[in-house]
Amino acid sequence: MSGVFKFKQFEVDQAGCAMKINTDGVLLGALADADQPKNILDIGTGTGVIALMLAQRFGTAEIDAVEIDRQAAETAGRNFDNSPFAAKLTTYPIGFEQFFAENPGKKYDLIVSNPPFYINSLTSAQKNRQVAKHSDIDFFKTLIGQVSRHLHEVGIFCMILPLDTAEELLPLYRKYDIHQQKLVYIRSFPLSGPHRVMVCLGLQKTEIKEDKFLIYESKDSYSSEYIKLLQPYFIAF
């Protein structure tokens, strides 16, 4: 996907963003949930699409969007300004570490991130794409440690990850006393295994709810649950 992507209630210009709109992002924007959140944080907003989807879903929420890549942050800011939700969205062109350092008292009902997830993998030749999609375990140590201090007592933190990455992060949840509350396993096709999982974490230890989500019924046909989930956003549905 490139250029301007038109949704039912907003448009997303992807110019200057290393990571374009993708299935992981729109699924996170549509699946991440909390009980009537008033304050939301999107870490690594990129084009701003996840923040915009959350703004559409949660009409009374104030949303902060952090993006370390300045060019991408400027693009996201323009997308916010051109949307019906401009008054609710604020962009910060800094890393999440600096954002939390400058806002030590801020806490959120919902935090989302579609993070870099190739732990200890080969690096990309394109620098800004490398920042967007590659990381090591130290990144997640900092991310989870910081997020655990900036969630409200019943707040939720949602990430979408490959299964092997999600497995590697389990010791970090124990270290920072944050708990898995919901796991949504995402499959491309009915007979394929899951390739992504949406992990939802919170400070309260609860029974873990597990769910499955199917994207395609067949090669050229989206599943009914995918269509239903994204119908409020995609013009094609």
* Cα angle 95-97-101, degrees, rounded to a multiple of 5: 120
122 CB neighbour count, 10 Å cutoff:
8
Positive or negative: CA dihedral 71, 74, 80, 81: negative
| 50 within domain boundaries | yes
Instruction: Determine the Cα–Cα distance for residues 113 and 205; give it in Å rounded to an integer.
Output: 21
Q: Is residue 62 part of a domain?
A: yes
Amino acid at 4: V
Q: Is residue 134 part of a domain?
A: yes
Does any domain span residue 36? yes
Beta carbons within 10 angstroms of residue 202's beta carbon:
21
Per-residue model confidence (pLDDT) at position 121: 43
CATH of the domain at 49: 3.40.50.150
What's the structural domain count of the chain?
A: 1
pLDDT tens-digit map of 15-52: 878 778 999 999 999 999 999 999 999 999 999 999 99
Q: Could you tell me if residue 126 is inside a domain?
A: yes
3-state SS assignment for residue 211:
strand
Reported pTM = 0.91
pLDDT (tens digit, 9 = 90+) per residue, 158-188? 999 999 999 999 999 999 999 999 999 999 9
Question: Does the residue 22 lie in any domain?
Answer: yes
The reply to whether 68 falls in a domain is: yes
Q: Which domain holds residue 59?
A: 4-177
CA distances from 84 to 35, 52, 89, 199, 234 (A): 23, 9, 10, 29, 16
Note the helical H segments in the chain. 23-31, 49-57, 70-81, 96-102, 127-133, 137-149, 163-168, 170-175, 224-230
Share of the chain above pLDDT 70, in %: 91
Q: How far is CA 178 from CA 39, 126, 156, 181, 207, in A?
A: 19, 34, 10, 9, 13
The CA distance from 54 to 112, in Å, is 10
Domain-embedded: residue 237: no
Asked whether residue 130 carries a pLDDT value surpassing 60, the answer given is no
**pLDDT tops 60 at residue 126:** no
